[in-house]
Amino acid sequence: MTEDNRDEIEDACLHCSPTHTRPESRPWGVYVAPERDGDDQPTHLVVMPTNGAHVAQSDADWLWQIIRDYRPPGAPPLPDEPEPAAVLRTNRWGRGA
């Protein structure tokens, strides 16, 4: 592995050949997970393909862009935020996925 292809290899889906199915071609769903904060309010949303398909980092990157780029009409732009890899590669316990 070289520096030039390190990210490509790390983000590759090991189950798909030669490429992972595009996320926009699959149905997605979301639900509120059971985790709660000290006031008993939900703290996690779970997003996954509704057809039971596996996911890859490229799916997380795609979803991050949709969330990051969405703005209601007339909303001001958001300040810079962390890159998706820094956020989405962390599991619910704060450790790398």
Domain span at residue 77 reads 3-23+52-88
Q: What string of pLDDT tens digits covers the 97 residues of the chain?
A: 344 443 444 455 777 766 678 888 889 999 999 999 999 999 999 999 998 888 888 899 999 888 888 878 887 766 665 555 545 444 444 444 4
- Number of structural domains found in the chain: 1
* Cα separation values, 71 from 6, 40, 66, 68, Å: 33, 29, 10, 8
ω into 42 cis (within 30 of 0): no
Q: For residue 84, is it within any domain?
A: yes
Q: For residue 39, is it within any domain?
A: no
User: What pTM was computed for the model?
Assistant: 0.58
Q: For residue 37, is it within any domain?
A: no
Q: For residue 70, is it within any domain?
A: yes
Q: For residue 67, is it within any domain?
A: yes
